[in-house]
Amino acid sequence: MSDLLVIAERRGNEIHSSTFELLGKARELSIKRPLTVSVVVLSDKPVEEDSANSLFSGGADRIILAVDRSFSRFNFEPYTKTLASIVREFAPEIVLAPATTSGRTYMPGLAALLKTGLTADCTGLDIEEETGNLLQTRPAIGGNIMATIKTPNHRPQMATVRPKTFSALKEAYESKSELVNFEVTPDLTQTEAKLIEFHPIGAGQKGVQDAEVIIAGGMGLRKVENMEPIFRLSKMINGTVGASRKIVDSKWIGHEAQVGLSGHTVKPKIYIAAGISGAVQHIAGMQTAEFIVAINRDRNAAIFNFADIGLVGDAVEILNELAKSLESEVKR
């Protein structure tokens, strides 16, 4: 039986939800072609029992645990060299990782070390039963077409997948529950890079990929000062600020807030799009939101085709009115 390897994403001491999404997809692929699903965890401390149990019930047959103090924060060289050593030892047919900031960083380096290909930012995965070729689907040409890519001549087949693309298992998987401790030798953690200092961005606020409520701004806001009611509303409703690509390119806000094909794919309970026209690249990143509210002066804007509620009017004026109404309710 061949191996499928999922590389776990950690956020602090927690296993990120994107890991369970990939495990769910891995189990789906294993129905078509028998696969042992392993999950690799790089950590500075042993995995707690609850975390291990959640990985097993989430779809893993095996946990490969690599523990070293150099993994307390993401570090490119120790990560890629250790992962390459693990892949060489277990020889998986497929290697999957979340297309997070860290996944997008180490996976190209890992593919280079292993002399194989990598398909980045996939939004669909399937497998050919006979050949074991992974069918890796991703947007191409600015999101105007969907390309399906194969890697028939090299193994392992490697792909990163956008978080929120797939779903975790709804029912607990009855796992084989094999825990393997991988020895991290000193040569694997040697690096010339040194952490000088660390400044967290948006401490206390969830990133857009993890947020349940997102208020996103677009160029319909006209100027950077008009982002203020979005930040004000976001604090009042415990939401997270998002943005279109043009807002980010204009440096009104950092890339961490960008929603869309060249940013983040999100799946919140509520998505409020203020002054966003609804370009296909942006829609691809937020259309799976449970409830979408669109605010735009142009009643023909494409965003209204995807909205549950559409408000036609000046986004800045409407946002300010919403903020005032909420503030008056809080004061009562």
Q: Residue 181, annotated ligand binder?
A: no
Place of tokens 């693990």: 86
Q: Residue 132, annotated ligand binder?
A: no
Q: Residue 57, annotated ligand binder?
A: no
Q: Residue 39, annotated ligand binder?
A: no
Q: Residue 218, annotated ligand binder?
A: no
Query: What Å distances lie between residue 214 and 117, 210, 323, CA to CA?
Result: 35, 10, 15
Report the alpha-carbon distance of residue 241 to residue 224 in Å, rounded: 14
Q: Residue 282, annotated ligand binder?
A: yes
User: What tokens appear for 219 in the block?
Assistant: 């160029």
Q: Residue 292, annotated ligand binder?
A: no
Q: Residue 6, annotated ligand binder?
A: no
Number of H helices, E strands in the chain: 9, 17
Q: Residue 280, annotated ligand binder?
A: yes
What sign results for the dihedral spanned by CA atoms 11, 13, 14, 19? positive
Angle subtended at Cα 5 by Cα 141 and Cα 18, rounded to the nearest 5 degrees: 60
User: What tokens appear for 205 in the block?
Assistant: 């606020």
Report the alpha-carbon distance of residue 238 to residue 244 in Å, rounded: 20
Q: Residue 254, annotated ligand binder?
A: no
Read off φ and ψ for residue 83, nearest 5 degrees: -65, -40
Beta bridge pairs of residue 293: 272, 309
Report the alpha-carbon distance of residue 100 to residue 264 in Å, rounded: 9
Q: Residue 260, annotated ligand binder?
A: yes
Report the alpha-carbon distance of residue 109 to residue 132 in Å, rounded: 24
Q: Residue 264, annotated ligand binder?
A: no
Query: What Å distances lie between residue 199 and 32, 40, 196, 327, CA to CA?
Result: 45, 27, 10, 32
Q: Residue 248, annotated ligand binder?
A: no
Q: Residue 281, annotated ligand binder?
A: yes
Q: Residue 277, annotated ligand binder?
A: yes
Q: Residue 262, annotated ligand binder?
A: yes
Mark the binding-site residues, compressed into ranges.
244-245, 258-262, 275-282, 296
Mark the binding-site residues for FAD, compressed into ranges.
244-245, 258-262, 275-282, 296
